[in-house]
Structure 1
Amino acid sequence: MKLLYNVFLLFIFCVLPVQLLWAQGATTAALSGTVKDQTGTALPGATVIAIHTPTNTQYVASTNTDGYYNIQNMRVGGPYTVTTSYIGYQEQRISSVNLALGQTARVDFSLAESSRQLGEVEIVGEQNDVFNQDRTGAATNVSRDQIENLPTLSRSLQDFTRLTPQASGNSIAGSNNRYNNITIDGAVNNDVFGLSGSGTPGGQAGSQPISLDAIQEIQVVVAPYDVKLGNFTGGGVNAVTRSGTNTFTGSVYGYGRNEDIIGKSVVEPREKADEFKNYQYGVRLGGPIIQDKLFFFFNYDATRFTEPVRFAPGSTESQIPFDVAQELSEYVQSTYGYDVGSFGAIDRETQSDKFFGRIDWNINDKHQLTVRHNVVDAFDDNISRSSDEIRFGNNAYRFNSTTHSSVLELNSRFSNEFSNNLIIGYTRIRDSREAQGEFFPQVTIFDPIADFEFGSQRSSTANELDQDIFEFTDNFTYLLGRHNFTIGTHNEFFDFRNLFINNFNGRWEFNSLEDFYNNNPRRVRATYSLLDNNPTPAAEFNALQLGFYAQDEYTASEQLRLTLGLRVDIPVFPDKPQENTQFENDFRNVYPGLETDRTPSGQLLWAPRFGFNFTPTEDRSLQFRGGTGIFTGRVPFVWLSNQFVNTGTILGTIDRRNPDSFVEDVNQLIDPSQPQTFEINVIEDDFKLPQVWRSNLAIDYTLPYEVFLTVEGIYSKTLNDVVYKDLNLVDPVGTLPGDSPDNREIYPSNRRINESYTNVILLDNTDEGYRYSLTGQLRKDFVNGLQMTLAYTYGKSKDVNSGTNSTALSNYEFNQIVNNPNDPQLSYSRFDIRHRIIGSAGYTFRYGANDNFATGISLFYQGQSGQPFTYLYNGDLNREGNFANDLIYVPRDQSEINLVPFSSGGVTYSADEQWEALDDFIENDDYLSDRRGQYAERNGARMPWTHQFDLRVFQDFMLEAGNNRHKFQITFDIFNVGNLLNHEWGHQYFVSNEANEIIRYAGLDDDGIPTFTFNPNSRRYNIAPFASRWQGQLGLRYLFNDRQ
Structure 2
Amino acid sequence: MKKQLIASAIAIALGTIGVVSADETSSSIRGQISTPQGAPAANTTIIITHVPTGTQRRFTTNEQGSFNASGLPVGGPYTILIDSDTYQDKEITNVQLELGNPFVLREVLQAITGEVVTITASASDFRYPNSGSNSSFGSREIEGSPSVNRDLKSVLRRNPLVNVLDNDEGSMSVAGSNPRYNSITIDGIRQDDDFGLNGSGYPTQRSPISLDAVEQISIATNPYDASKGGFSGAGISVVTKSGTNEFSGNVFYEYFDDKFAGPSRESGASDVIPTAFTERTYGFSVGGPIIADKLFFFANYEKFEAPGTVEAGPDGYPSGNPADVSIADANEVIRIAREIYGVEPGTWELGSIEEDVKKLLKVDWNINDYHRASFTYQDTDGKQTSNNVGGRTLNLSSHWYTRGDHLRAYSAQWFADWSNNFATELRIADKSVDNTQDPLEGRGYGQVSVRTPSGTVEFGPDRSRHANELRNDTFQVAFEAEYLSGDHTWTFGYVYDDLDVYNVFVQDSLGSWSFDSLADFENRDASEFNYQNSFLNSADDAAAIFNFKTHTFYVGDVWDVNADLILNYGLRYERITTSDTPRLNPNFVNRYGFGNDASMDGKDILLPRIGFDYQVAENVKLSGGIGRFSGGRPNVWLSNAYTNDGVTIVVPDVDTNDPQYLADVLTNVDVTSIPTYVTDRMVAGNGNSTPIDPNFDIPSEWRYSLKADWNTSLGVLGDNWLISSEAIFKDIDKDVQWIDLAREQIGTTVAGQPIYGPVDANNPDQYDLLLTNISGGDSRILTFSMDKQWDNGLHLNLSYTNQDINDRVPGTSSTATSNYQYTTTYDRQNPAIATASYEVKHRLALNLDYDVEIFNGLNTTFGLFAERVSGRPYSWTLGSFRDGDLGDQSDFDDSDVYLPYIPTGPNDPAVDFSCNSCLSYDEIIDHLNDNGISTSGGFLSRNAYRSPYKTNIDLFIRQEVPGLFNDQKGEVYFHIDNLLNLVDSSQGKIYSNPFSESQQILFDYDVNQNGQYQYQEPFGDYRYGSPANFREIESAWRVKVGVRYKF
> TM-score normalised to the size of structure 2?
0.83
Q: CA deviation at 1:59?
A: 1.6
Q: Taking structure 1 as reference, are residues 932 and 262 closer, same or farther at Cα in structure 2, changes over 3 Å only?
A: farther
What RMSD, in angstroms, separates the aligned Cα atoms of the two structures?
Answer: 4.4
Q: How does 1:907-926 map to 2 (within 5 A)?
A: 922-926=928-932
Match of 1:464 among 465, 469, 480: 469
Aligned residue number for residue 273 of structure 2:
272
1:804 paired with 2:801, answer: no
8 Å contact 1:998–1:1014 — kept in the other structure?
no
- 3-state SS, counterpart of residue 480 of structure 2: strand
Q: How does 1:118-267 map to 2 (within 5 A)?
A: 120-124=117-121, 138-169=133-164, 170-202=172-204, 206-267=205-266
Moved more, 435-444 or 808-817: 435-444
- 3-state SS, counterpart of residue 645 of structure 2: coil
Q: CA deviation at 1:1003?
A: 7.6
Count of residues in Structure 1 that have an aligned counterpart in Structure 2: 967
Aligned residue number for residue 642 of structure 2:
644
Aligned residue number for residue 559 of structure 2:
554
8 Å contact 1:462–1:536 — kept in the other structure?
no
- 3-state SS, counterpart of residue 273 of structure 1: coil
Match of 2:1019 among 1001, 1013, 1021: 1013
Q: Taking structure 1 as reference, are residues 924 and 213 closer, same or farther at Cα in structure 2, changes over 3 Å only?
A: farther
Q: Deviations over 1:447-505 (max 9, x none)?
A: xxxx9999965533211011121001111000011100011012210111111224657
Letter paired with 1:113: A
Match of 1:371 among 361, 372, 375: 375
Q: Deviations over 1:485-531 (max 9, x none)?
A: 0110122101111112246578999xxxxxxxxxxxxx999742112
Q: Which runs of 5+ in 2 are unaligned?
A: 1-17, 165-171, 515-527, 714-718
Letter paired with 1:380: Q
Letter paired with 1:954: R
Q: CA deviation at 1:840?
A: 0.5
Aligned residue number for residue 599 of structure 2:
599
Letter paired with 1:783: D
Percent identity between the two aligned chains: 27
Aligned residue number for residue 500 of structure 1:
505
8 Å contact 2:21–2:235 — kept in the other structure?
no
8 Å contact 2:648–2:684 — kept in the other structure?
no
- 3-state SS, counterpart of residue 192 of structure 1: coil
1:80 paired with 2:78, answer: yes
Q: How does 1:504-903 map to 2 (within 5 A)?
A: 504=509, 527-532=532-537, 537-585=542-590, 587=591, 591-592=592-593, 594-617=594-617, 619=618, 621-652=619-650, 672=681, 676-704=685-713, 705-735=719-749, 744-747=753-756, 752=760, 755=763, 758-819=766-827, 821-846=828-853, 852-872=857-877, 873-879=879-885, 880-881=888-889, 882=892, 883-889=894-900
Q: Give me the whole-angstrom Cα distance separating, in 2, the residues matched to 1:460 and 1:538.
A: 14
Moved more, 218-227 or 539-548: 539-548
Aligned residue number for residue 291 of structure 1:
292
- 3-state SS, counterpart of residue 718 of structure 1: strand
Moved more, 753-762 or 623-632: 753-762
8 Å contact 2:535–2:683 — kept in the other structure?
no
Q: Taking structure 1 as reference, are residues 852 and 933 closer, same or farther at Cα in structure 2, changes over 3 Å only?
A: same
- 3-state SS, counterpart of residue 583 of structure 1: helix
Q: CA deviation at 1:939?
A: 3.2
8 Å contact 1:648–1:680 — kept in the other structure?
yes
Q: CA deviation at 1:542?
A: 1.1
- 3-state SS, counterpart of residue 358 of structure 2: strand
Match of 1:352 among 347, 350, 356: 356
Aligned residue number for residue 906 of structure 1:
none
Q: Taking structure 1 as reference, are residues 160 and 131 closer, same or farther at Cα in structure 2, changes over 3 Å only?
A: closer
Q: Taking structure 1 as reference, are residues 265 and 860 closer, same or farther at Cα in structure 2, changes over 3 Å only?
A: same
Q: CA deviation at 1:365?
A: 0.4
8 Å contact 1:137–1:225 — kept in the other structure?
no
Q: Taking structure 1 as reference, are residues 383 and 746 closer, same or farther at Cα in structure 2, changes over 3 Å only?
A: farther
Q: Give me the whole-angstrom Cα distance separating, in 1, the residues matched to 2:563 and 2:438.
A: 61
Q: CA deviation at 1:374?
A: 0.3
Letter paired with 1:429: V
Q: Taking structure 1 as reference, are residues 1003 and 39 closer, same or farther at Cα in structure 2, changes over 3 Å only?
A: closer
Q: Deviations over 1:994-1014 (max 9, x none)?
A: 434536748899999675535
Q: Give me the whole-angstrom Cα distance separating, in 1, the residues matched to 2:830 and 2:450.
A: 29
Aligned residue number for residue 521 of structure 2:
none
Q: How does 1:903-982 map to 2 (within 5 A)?
A: 922-926=928-932, 929-931=933-935, 934-959=938-963, 961=965, 965-982=967-984
Q: CA deviation at 1:372?
A: 1.1
Q: Give me the whole-angstrom Cα distance separating, in 2, the residues matched to 1:699 and 1:391.
A: 60
Q: CA deviation at 1:885?
A: 4.1
Q: Give me the whole-angstrom Cα distance separating, in 1, the residues matched to 2:635 and 2:332.
A: 39
Q: CA deviation at 1:938?
A: 3.3
> TM-score normalised to the size of structure 1?
0.84
- 3-state SS, counterpart of residue 690 of structure 2: strand
Q: Deviations over 1:898-928 (max 9, x none)?
A: 8999xxxxxxxx9999998x977753544xx
Q: Give me the whole-angstrom Cα distance separating, in 2, the residues matched to 1:622 and 1:307.
A: 56
8 Å contact 2:131–2:799 — kept in the other structure?
no
Q: Taking structure 1 as reference, are residues 123 and 833 closer, same or farther at Cα in structure 2, changes over 3 Å only?
A: same
Q: Give me the whole-angstrom Cα distance separating, in 2, the residues matched to 1:525 and 1:913.
A: 44
Moved more, 298-307 or 142-151: 298-307
8 Å contact 1:21–1:73 — kept in the other structure?
no
8 Å contact 1:877–1:886 — kept in the other structure?
no
- 3-state SS, counterpart of residue 840 of structure 1: strand
Letter paired with 2:1040: Q
Q: Give me the whole-angstrom Cα distance separating, in 1, the residues matched to 2:896 and 2:474.
A: 36
8 Å contact 1:813–1:885 — kept in the other structure?
no
Q: Deviations over 1:128-159 (max 9, x none)?
A: 56899xx9982010111110111112111111
- 3-state SS, counterpart of residue 499 of structure 2: strand
Q: Taking structure 1 as reference, are residues 912 and 945 closer, same or farther at Cα in structure 2, changes over 3 Å only?
A: same
Q: Give me the whole-angstrom Cα distance separating, in 1, the residues matched to 2:82 and 2:755.
A: 78
- 3-state SS, counterpart of residue 543 of structure 1: strand
Q: Taking structure 1 as reference, are residues 931 and 66 closer, same or farther at Cα in structure 2, changes over 3 Å only?
A: same
Aligned residue number for residue 518 of structure 1:
none
8 Å contact 1:33–1:68 — kept in the other structure?
yes
Letter paired with 2:954: D
Q: Give me the whole-angstrom Cα distance separating, in 2, the residues matched to 1:455 and 1:1017.
A: 36
8 Å contact 2:145–2:154 — kept in the other structure?
no
Q: Which runs of 5+ in 1 are unaligned?
A: 1-19, 446-450, 510-522, 736-740, 902-909
Q: CA deviation at 1:602?
A: 1.1
Aligned residue number for residue 520 of structure 2:
none
8 Å contact 2:132–2:784 — kept in the other structure?
no
Q: Deviations over 1:84-110 (max 9, x none)?
A: 111143322111110000011123334
Q: Taking structure 1 as reference, are residues 207 and 131 closer, same or farther at Cα in structure 2, changes over 3 Å only?
A: closer
Letter paired with 1:640: L
